[in-house]
Amino acid sequence: MNRMTENDAFFSELVPHFAMDGAYVSCVRYGAGHINDTFCLTVEREGRQTRYILQRINHRLFKNVGELMHNIELVTAFCRESVLARGGDPARECLQIVPTKTGESYYFDGTDYFRVYVFIEGATTYQSVRAPRDFYESAVAFGRFASLLAKFDASQLYEVLPDFHNTRVRYRNFLAAVEADVCGRAREVEREITWVKEHSSLCGKIVDRIESGEIPLRVTHNDTKLNNVMLDDQTGEGLAVIDLDTVMPGSLCYDFGDSIRFGCNSGAEDEPDLTRVHFRFDLYETYLAGYLSAVGDGITETERRYLAMGAILMTYECGMRFLTDYLEGDVYFRTTRPGQNLDRAHTQFRMVDEMLVVYDRMLAAATKPFHGKPRRR
């Protein structure tokens, strides 16, 4: 991406294309997403400053930005209606697109694609679980979002990233990256490559059940890590689910699993010191309770039987994707230092090893009768 554009002159020319009321003040890098370039944009009118989220959309990944934004327009509009229907505040409880002055949901400057969202104030996204309650509330928010999407008509959406969580396809891509070895890094990571291959029997555990129809294909979020949900600074509750780029057909087991992958790691996703990386079973139980309380009977028995496997699979798949990216020269996930994708792969593999040891307990916890307090809306 063209990073030369990150200066005031560039942004102050960009801002007038959007339907915003105010003069440009500043625009600075924001958040810790791995995919898009995110900025906090501030504008001012009559001495009053307003913040927005400006994103340069990752066009390398999202080849058809029109289709991507079509999906986001529909999902945000759907979310807005549901929030309004229960008397909530749509400006804080869902992502809200700020259109261009010509009424489009994004702006193309001839090189890059940009979009603007209303900044959700008084809420925070966390990079790790500070306290179990935060994780519980994030689970409730994602569970409610799943229930909301259950009412959404899948046929209206483009599948913007086909096979996104098709672990078999991810494995094939990984083998191709090993074979091509474009950066000459494969020898250095022989041990890791072997580990992925030794665990390849995991690949079909969920995709096969989706193909046979045992696990229903639903409209899901597909990227449910903790920093994609905003928690209200006052109440501590999950306020808004964000990062809707990957809302597509998928499985609840994956959405549940991706939250576990990220949140139940006692260390950071890219922690270089593996002695700090452990699977926190206590947090797994916390998330499970929050998720089940929010999805209620919207989840099938089979899905519950595959929640624990979803966590293992998402972690295996993500580790494999990090290793693939390392082999391909760090071209997919944003990195801020050399070796970061390899560190990320290591943490995921460590988590899978530890989850496999306690898999029976994970399964038992996910399938026992649930008597928690419902947190449905």
Summarize as ranges the residues that interact with Mg ion (CB under 5 A).
Answer: 33, 228, 243
Q: How many residues bind ligand ADP (CB under 6 A)?
A: 18
Stretch that binds ligand ADP, among 28-36, 156-164, 190-198, 346-354 (CB under 6 A): 28-36
DSSP letters of 115-135? EEEE--TTEE--SS-SSHHHH
Please list the residues that pair with 198 across neighbouring strands. none
Output the CA torsion sign for 147, 150, 152, 157: positive
36 is a contact residue toward ligand ADP (CB under 6 A): yes
Helices (H), the chain: 8-14, 65-85, 90-93, 132-149, 167-180, 190-198, 204-212, 252-263, 281-295, 301-305, 307-328, 340-357, 359-367
Nearest approach, Cβ of 52 to ligand ADP (angstroms)? 8
Among the listed residues 99, 104, 103, 101, the one whose alpha carbon sits nearest the alpha carbon of residue 116: 99
Residues within window 242-261 making contact with ligand ADP, judged by CB under 6 A: 242-243, 245
Stretch that binds ligand ADP, among 73-81, 115-123, 188-196, 263-271 (CB under 6 A): 115-123
Whole-Å CA distances, 302 to 20, 87, 202, 219: 47, 34, 17, 17
242's contact among Mg ion, ligand GN1, ligand ADP, none, with CB below 5 to 8 A by partner kind, is: ligand ADP
317 is a contact residue toward ligand ADP (CB under 6 A): no
Among the listed residues 307, 263, 230, 291, the one whose alpha carbon sits nearest the alpha carbon of residue 132: 263
343 is a contact residue toward ligand GN1 (CB under 6 A): no
Cβ closer to Mg ion: 7 or 127?
127
**Residue 323 in tokens:** 């290793």
120's contact among Mg ion, ligand ADP, ligand GN1, none, with CB below 5 to 8 A by partner kind, is: ligand ADP
125 is a contact residue toward ligand ADP (CB under 6 A): yes
117 is a contact residue toward ligand ADP (CB under 6 A): yes
Nearest approach, Cβ of 205 to ligand ADP (angstroms)? 27
Distance CA 304, CA 313 (A): 15
Count of all residues that appear for the chain in the document:
377
Binder of ligand ADP out of 65, 79, 95, 351 (CB under 6 A): 95
342 is a contact residue toward ligand GN1 (CB under 6 A): no
The helix/strand/coil state of 54 is strand
Binder of ligand GN1 out of 134, 137, 269, 325 (CB under 6 A): 269
318 is a contact residue toward ligand GN1 (CB under 6 A): yes
Binder of ligand ADP out of 10, 22, 25, 31 (CB under 6 A): 31
138's contact among ligand GN1, Mg ion, ligand ADP, none, with CB below 5 to 8 A by partner kind, is: none
- Give the DSSP H/E element, type plus range, for residue 225: none
Binding mask 24-53 for ligand GN1 (x = CB under 6 A): ---------xxx------------------
Residue, CB closest to ligand ADP? 33
DSSP letters of 234-270? TT-SEEEE--GGG-EEE-HHHHHHHHHHHHTBSS-TT
Distance CA 148, CA 135 (A): 20
**Residue 119 in tokens:** 């900044």
Binding footprint of ligand ADP on the chain (CB under 6 A) = 30-31, 33-36, 38, 53, 95, 117, 119-120, 125, 227-228, 242-243, 245
Binding footprint of ligand GN1 on the chain (CB under 6 A) = 33-35, 223, 225, 228, 243, 245-246, 269, 318, 333
